Amino acid sequence: MPREFNSILITGASSGLGEALALAAAARGRTLWLTGRNEIRLNTVAQECRSKGANVTATVLDVMDRGAMASFVEQADDVQPLDLVIANAGISGGTGGGGESDDQAREIFDINVTGVLNTIHPALERMRPRKNGQIAVMSSLAALRGFPGAPAYSASKASVKVYAEALRGALAGDGIGVSAICPGFVKSRMTAANNFPMPFLMEADKAAQIILDGLRKNRTVIAFPWPMYLAVSFLSILPPALTVRLLSRLPAKD
């Protein structure tokens, strides 16, 4: 039976997939808790969601601030128990002013991995006693096979994908669903920094609908688009010596 979500928390909601997810989830009677680092964009998204009838609380937060994230999650849950938490906030090489230098690689791991933990663990503390809730972490098809042009990004997304899959089993007895979201290329400020062809590039609103449909069905992994998923899955089972040669020819992010 499809799950219903009435109280939803989304990080990284000021742009890209986070924005699209907030707008797709916005509906009369639904409560949204949105975070982002850009106040102007976040408030614009919040106002659009309110125009669709949703009750919205938008707060400028950095997912790396563990205490602030815990407080935000707890305050939201106190007002209306959270049904769904989407740990969406993340960065990649190319969006921070250069390739994956030492500093940027560390920042990618911090935000894409530690930021996810800072988001979902306070929520789990509230969901476990009532044995209900859904957790979603934003991974990527890059999690299936590391790409030379984005090693830290690929590894960080692989980390949260495996964590979500294992956590799903660990929480099965608690009635909590856990899903790993693995999109391909989706139009956003992040992918706009790419100066190479992006096969099967998808509009963010379409991607958001696929994700929400998968979450309602409590899918373990929500991977799309399927041609890209099949292609990357095939690469992941080829001998590493061959895939390294093939993938090394792909362009890197600026």
- What's the CATH number where 51 sits? 3.40.50.720
- Spatial separation of the C-alpha atoms in residues 108 and 92, rounded to whole Å: 6
2: in domain: no
What pLDDT is recorded for position 229? Answer: 80
253: in domain: no
What pLDDT is recorded for position 95? Answer: 46
What pLDDT is recorded for position 189? Answer: 65
Cis peptide before 225 (omega within 30 of 0): yes
193: in domain: yes
Q: How many domains does the chain have?
A: 1
252: in domain: no
Q: Would you say 171 and 183 are in contact if contact means Cβ atoms under 8 Å apart? A: no
Residue in the structure block whose two tokens are 């688009």: 225
End-to-end CA distance of the chain: 45
3-class SS at 203? coil
What pLDDT is recorded for position 250? Answer: 56
Mean pLDDT, each 10-residue run in order, the chain (254 residues): 92 96 96 97 98 98 97 98 97 62 93 98 98 97 85 95 98 96 81 60 92 97 89 75 63 52
The whole-model pTM stands at 0.89
Residue-number span of the structural domain to which 98 is assigned: 7-247
What pLDDT is recorded for position 248? Answer: 62
Q: Would you say 5 and 83 are in contact if contact means Cβ atoms under 8 Å apart? A: yes
The catalytic position among 5, 33, 147, 153 is 153
Q: Would you say 42 and 60 are in contact if contact means Cβ atoms under 8 Å apart? A: yes
254: in domain: no
Q: Would you say 212 and 25 are in contact if contact means Cβ atoms under 8 Å apart? A: yes
- Spatial separation of the C-alpha atoms in residues 92 and 180, rounded to whole Å: 18
Q: Helical H runs in 143-251?
A: 151-170, 204-216, 226-237, 240-247
42: in domain: yes
1: in domain: no
- Spatial separation of the C-alpha atoms in residues 48 and 54, rounded to whole Å: 9
Residue 193 sits at the vertex; the CA angle it makes with 34 and 188, to the nearest 5 degrees, is: 35
163 catalytic residue (yes or no):
no
Q: Token pair for residue 237?
A: 């089972």
95: in domain: yes
- Spatial separation of the C-alpha atoms in residues 238 and 236, rounded to whole Å: 6
- Spatial separation of the C-alpha atoms in residues 155 and 163, rounded to whole Å: 12
What is 28-84 written as a DSSP string? TT-EEEEEES-HHHHHHHHHHHHHTT-EEEEEE--TT-HHHHHHHHHHHHHHS--SE
What pLDDT is recorded for position 100? Answer: 78
